[in-house]
Structures are given as C-alpha cells and as structure tokens.
Amino acid sequence: MILDRDDVPWRGYWPAAPTPFTADGALDEDAWAELLRLYLRQGVHGVLVNGSTGEWFSQTPAERRRVAEIAVEVAGRIPVVVGVTAYTQDEAIGLAEHAAATGAGGVLATPPPYVHPGPDEILAFYERVSSATDLPFMVYNWPRGVAVDLGDHPGLVERLADLPNVAAIKDSTGDWLKMLATVEAVADRVRVFGSFLHRRGLAVLLGLGGDGNIDGGGLGAPFAVPFYEAVARRDEEAARAFVDRYAALSSRLIRPDYSGVFASPIPQLKAAMAELGQPGGHVRPPLLPATGAALDGIRAALEESGLRAALEPAGASS
C-alpha cells in the first residue's frame, strides 16, 4: 500500500514530549502518564514521543519501549508518533516494530546521527526503516542533531516523499527558506511540519501549504492550539492574535537555530515546566539542570510572555 498525506489525520500543534526522569535518574512512569494527560487536557492535535526532546539518546532500549507503551495507552485517542532514531538501521527497525505492535499511530526517525551519510545512503536508510512496518512514517530533518540537512541535496526530499510509507516530513532546519522549499516541493503529497508559529508562517499556511508544528515540550500549547484551530477555519484575525502571543514566548526562550537562550534546550524546557508545576521531571547526564541566572531568565520569560498568566486561570499549571 502506498500512503500519502490524505491517509493520516496529522495536523496542528503537537508537543515533542520530554521524558520525565526522577532526581536519581529513573524513568518516572507516573509523571509521564500525568504529562500525557496534561497534553490531552490542552487539546493538542498529536504527540511525538522519544524524539530529541524526549532524550532518546540517554534511554535504554527497554525504557524507550516502555515510554512508547505508556504513551499509546494514555494518549492513544490522538495520533501518537514514536521516535525510532538510532545509530544503526537495525536498531531503528526493532523500535519501529515494537511501536507497531504497541498500536502507535506512526514512527519517525532522523538520518543516523554522527555518521554524516550522503544522499544515496540517506535514501537507502529510509527505504529500509520506513518499510519495516505498515505504520505511516515521518522523515525528520534535524541538522542541529545529526549534522546533515536534507535540503542541501537537490531532489532528496522529493525522493523521500515518494517512498511508499512516508506520509509526513518534520523539517526542523534552522534555514527557514529551506523549509519553505520543502513545503513547495512535497506538501501536495505528504504532511509537512515545520516552523509556522509566527505571522510569516501563518501566511505560508494559508497560501502555500503546510500542516503543523511539532514543538519541543509543548509549553506554547495555550497559544498554539487555538492558533491552529483558527487556521483550520480560516480565521486570520484570531490566528494572528494567538500566534503573536506564541511568538512572544518562543522568542524569549529559543533562538532561530533551535538553541536555548538561557541553557541547553531540554534543561531549559524542564526548568520552565517545573516553574509552571508541569511534570517534566529531571534531565539525565550528560545534560545538567538549569540553575542560577538561567532560572532567573526563564522565570522572567514566562512572566513577560504572559504564559503564566494564561495558564493560571484555567488551572493548567497545577
């Protein structure tokens, strides 16, 4: 069977969920289930687990499988896409097969980290991994994490979109024009998740195409969920109001290249979640928790952006 964008209901605002760990480094299953329930209450349109924000790189294979199982059990009424990025294709295939057996809605992978594969090697990798199960597959372009930008290779994104099980591309290049090129090239065939949560992105969504954002941690859900609902009903005025509020938050915490303003992105995220009473848990080494001046900056960003005030009346920070 050949899949395309119409075979999956993937759109809107998804958190790339962090994986909560306890202070002594154990997987916190209770906090993980609580976080998933928070996402459901916030009305997100899907969730990505065991991605970069989920610290897949510091988990054991057994932990990655358990994280996926809990996610499907708790949040399976919305799309749950499981990250299967790994250093070898056999590892990625094993994780994809487990995700399929668990009942996940799809799987995602970057090219293998560290390897710096060329375009033919990238295509061969995705051919093998995407065809290992019948699940819809999301290609993940993540140059910051793997030092390879799919957009640097002419025609590669189109070749990947033509693979039978590929139904979406998550394009997290730091080069916005390259992301627009991805939208132009393949949005008629596959879903495209990119950087749309600003007024330029709104214009692209309403004119050129594109489907959503998969956002590290989902802090911006109170603004981004209603933004995408407004986009869906073509209400430009409401969409502009919500996207401006989102941009006021994101610009204070994340730079255009996806680095953090005050600390590494994941420690910064988990510190912000702790400030809001959300169950993000602790980071695992080699990451270190945000402290001192970084915490002061994070607190100020939450106040100045209006996020804390937006959460408190609805009780979403408790």
Q: Is position 170 annotated as part of the catalytic site?
A: yes
Cα 60 to its chain centre, rounded Å, is 20
Q: Is position 178 annotated as part of the catalytic site?
A: no
User: How far is Cα 115 from Cα 112, in angstroms, rounded to an integer?
Assistant: 6
DSSP state of 19: P
HSE-up (13 A, CA, CB side) for residue 83: 31
User: How far is Cα 43 from Cα 184, in angstroms, rounded to an integer?
Assistant: 29
Q: Which residue stretches of the chain are H helix?
A: 29-42, 61-75, 89-102, 119-130, 143-146, 156-161, 176-186, 199-207, 221-232, 236-253, 265-275, 292-304, 307-311
Task: Determine what percent of the chain falls in helix, strand and coil, rounding each to the nearest 5.
Answer: 50, 15, 40
Selected catalytic residue, list 13, 39, 140, 228: 140
Selected catalytic residue, list 13, 39, 126, 170: 170
Distances (CA, A) of 146 to 142, 181, 268: 6, 20, 21
Active site residues: 140, 170
